[in-house]
Chains A and B, each alone.
Chain A
């Protein structure tokens, strides 16, 4: 990923713009290459269809045609792989741009000129960053989605990176505890504690929390059409970000997304409603995580 390479030295807005520009150029070229590759695939696929047309009348396939078809198919597969490779490259470039922007943001913040974002704008950003979260596409049909894709939790040893979004269990002013949306500032390996910032700038709180109290949010969306198993099943108890807030609350999954761009429909636990649950509300994959047992429950178990 990008983070290791060019960003050791703090980079300026101009440098960031330059790097983004470069990647946009790359993407532009890649699009042409993809188009070329696609045309080639098209051609091969046509040939395959033609070959099939010729051999359908009689059931027996001659060795010649067997051979021909074999080579045609392998050519088509390699074409498709080429095309896939290019598309993945283009997606990687898009991710790099996201990373650069994020890096730039973190640096600007560390430099002290933290841009103040109005709540409304923040909500919009949260929504759009969830919608544009990278989509996981497995290399092979049966491939197992990696951790932090959809509902797949992180590995136990996983450490969230600086700037990553997490859910953090923090103490409020009146001793009550809340899962809030936060951003990782750093992880201290010696104390094994995270330092996180409340995403809501009006709170202006920095929290130092043990690993247990920090749950990283998914880094990738799962595609319900191919990786349905990487989604929370209907009826499962989850923590979900209440719409238009920066807090996670307990909820029941009511309906799963059916496409990569759809959101979960959940029912929040809410005593103010007569039946104890909110009406169905939509929450993006990024903001639905598996529930953490509270401390009390854990000590009991």
Chain B
């Protein structure tokens, strides 16, 4: 997995997009081929068809003027007085030329018209004064009319046929009147819905993946582009085909959208005299909701059937990431409250993304768009009671993919190669979970249990419960909810005497505000009233109180942790609040700071401003389960203590004191002190780069104590030399020069390069292969961190890494 993502992003972004695009084009064309009703074109390959049409037009535009006029005469009205004939028709029977149906060599200006009997010249007098451009434009329409005419005849679906006929007539009329075709009437004008599909998908990528690293985010962004590309070239089902599939209630809406799509997107794609719009730019939620499921199904089927023809990288992207991407997208598409459909969606992407967005693709936004502030807000949220407690129990499970072994990926790449054996950990955990552990005369009052411990125990015993509740104007609110809201109102107004009661009522009962209520004996004894600004990515905490006789029991901390977990589930990672002088202490304990890390435009104009209060900010880390946080830290602390203790038992040995100083020796090297090496101590040069706490970690120090064997030295030397001689090694030969890249060391805290590695090798620093691998990997990760994926450097890093790993595997110095 790790390796494949790396290689995948190793390709330049353009390569990637192209390869993706070609897949989707295949998909699209085959989708069309499968479709029962070929529309407009022969469908062997839509792409080919479009090209053929273009060639044909080109060819016609190069005709001599005379020939052009002869052609146009067929579609132009007779200019003779009172004559209503709208096109010259050859009086002579057509010579059968089914393919080159426009060939009418016999015609000339004096030939009479079959219907009005005026000569041909009469049909073109008005054209002779026209410019070449105008003539060509008319000819383009003529070709389009012919194509539509053929399409209409081939079309089997009656509804679609009607649309072709309408467009056919429209174009005919425009040729006659020499006007530009415009489509008016009940269909409306594009865009039909806001936000557009393209905008919503971009929002989705920002909303769901904004927190990812640049590399991972890029992959998601490319999937989004691929999906949009597919939609733009998709042949949608006819309403009648769909009706049989049974979507009766939305059928009328679909029919309208389908017609719009034919008229504005599908037909204009091959009839370029009609104004063309991209499906994803003019349609919005209704269409996407209607077609998403079937599109996904067909897309995935197609992906699977083509899997063998894909490159391994693309296979990973398309078969592993794409389905996940689509299922996440599906949730948002069908969720009423999803912010991706918010016309004012605003989430400032991390800086690297902003650059990517602005530089790439047709759906990048103008920078100014982010600045726009509006209070419009869609509020279709469901405000009924949500008990988040059961949800929380599921959280650790849900996050287990990424959370189960945190930093697994990074660990593998870089630092701790020596993980503890599972048994050791299990043993220690068993010990510290043993109720008899740490039992003694002082165990009656364990001095400093975490603040929220009691509250958590009470929650597990159902003494207290937590609910997120809120008022609603559009949906029925249960009596229980109302009673609790009133109770909360009383708690807030009693505990916050400085707040006017009316103001508290106004916010607690406002449908946009929700309250996390703490319920004991069926009555609220505390709560946090908050307002989510999903589009802004933050929540404002408005009131926070626990009734006085229930204070100092850890409820406040537990409430806040609950709120944090609730928000992580809702993908909001910022809290803002105006804290008065009494509340600052509380908020500080809960991880809030007066240092606001959010950019001002994100919250200005949204959050209520209070005089004399201090704005405080808390950023959440989505990887943390806050209600479990103290317990986890505590456990980790115990494990470390236990490990230190175990290690002490293993190596405990009393050495006779040093006597050399008595004999006049002024100093000795640290490593010559008896026993010091056994403790895992390393010289400065080693600890500096390896970081601390290495000494307590299992077998590594023992390995380090062994003399460096010459065979390892020689093996590493040969690998290092071949790596240095590789054609992609040139960026990494020397340390990066600060003069060339002034900000490099601001970003890269642990620089590494091949020269430094050679020096270290000579100094016999690489006493294990792991140190060597770690330094080498550091070179590549640094490079990928600093450079964007479309740079030569980035490609070099990927290529050289692969090469390095191959070489290591060859000589058996690589795991797995």
Contact = CB atoms under 8 A, between A and B. Distances in A.
B362 interface: no
B553 interface: yes
A130 B765 CA distance: 64
B550 A244 contact: yes
A242 B494 CA distance: 16
A117 B447 contact: yes
A243 B550 CA distance: 7
Interface of B: 440-441, 445, 447-449, 451, 454, 494, 497, 548-554
B442 to A, nearest CB: 9
Contacts of A124: 445, 454
Given A20-B441, A272-B494, A121 B449 contact: yes
11 contacts: A118-B448, A118-B451, A120-B553, A121-B445, A121-B448, A121-B449, A123-B553, A242-B548, A243-B548, A244-B552, A273-B494
Given A117-B447, A242-B549, A243-B549, 15 more contacts: A16-B441, A101-B441, A115-B447, A120-B454, A120-B553, A122-B552, A128-B445, A242-B548, A243-B548, A244-B549, A244-B551, A244-B552, A244-B553, A272-B497, A278-B549
A137 interface: no
Contacts of B553: 120, 123, 244
A51 interface: no
Nearest to A268: B549
Given A118-B451, A121-B449, A272-B497, A17 B552 contact: no
B552 A123 contact: yes
Interface of B, secondary structure class, is loop
A144 interface: no
A2 interface: no
B454 A245 contact: no
Across the A-B interface, give the 9 residue pairs with the lowest CB-CB distance, nearest first. Answer: A243-B549, A244-B551, A244-B552, A119-B552, A123-B552, A120-B552, A281-B549, A20-B441, A120-B554
Contacts, number: 45
Interface of A: 16-17, 20, 101, 115, 117-125, 128, 242-245, 272-273, 278, 281
A120 B548 contact: no
B359 to A, nearest CB: 52
Contacts of B497: 272
A128 B445 CA distance: 10
Contacts of A101: 441
A290 to B, nearest CB: 22
A101 B440 CA distance: 13
A117 B446 CA distance: 10
B552 to A, nearest CB: 5
A121 B551 contact: no
A241 to B, nearest CB: 11
A278 B495 CA distance: 13
Contacts of B494: 272-273
B447 A121 contact: yes
A153 B449 CA distance: 36
Contacts of A115: 447
A258 B440 CA distance: 35
Contacts of B449: 121
Contacts of B448: 117-118, 121
A292 B497 CA distance: 29
Most buried by A among B440, B497, B553: B553
Nearest to A132: B444
B445 A125 contact: yes
Contacts of A122: 552
Contacts of A17: 440-441
Given A120-B451, A120-B553, A245 B445 contact: no
A118 B454 CA distance: 13
A243 B553 CA distance: 11
Nearest to A122: B552
Contacts of A20: 441
Contacts of A242: 548-549
Nearest to B446: A121
Contacts of A272: 494, 497
Nearest to A281: B549
Contacts of B549: 242-244, 278, 281
A94 to B, nearest CB: 13
A242 B549 CA distance: 7
Contacts of A120: 451, 454, 552-554
Contacts of A125: 445
A3 B440 CA distance: 23
Contact of A245 (B440, B441, B548, B554): B548
A270 to B, nearest CB: 9
A21 B107 CA distance: 124
Contacts of B445: 121, 124-125, 128
Nearest to B453: A120
Contacts of A243: 548-550
A35 B368 CA distance: 87
Contacts of A118: 448, 451
B451 to A, nearest CB: 6
A274 to B, nearest CB: 10
Nearest to A125: B445
A123 B548 CA distance: 13
A115 B448 CA distance: 10
Contacts of B451: 118, 120
Nearest to A278: B549
A120 B448 CA distance: 9
Contacts of A245: 548, 551
Nearest to A283: B549
A23 to B, nearest CB: 11
A114 to B, nearest CB: 12
B441 A244 contact: no
A243 B494 CA distance: 16
A119 B448 CA distance: 10
A140 to B, nearest CB: 34
A279 to B, nearest CB: 9
Most buried by B among A115, A121, A242: A121
B107 to A, nearest CB: 101
A8 B654 CA distance: 38
A20 B554 CA distance: 32
Nearest to B549: A243
Nearest to A273: B494
Most buried by A among B441, B454, B554: B441
A273 B493 CA distance: 11
A120 B557 CA distance: 11
B807 to A, nearest CB: 57
A84 to B, nearest CB: 28
B197 to A, nearest CB: 52
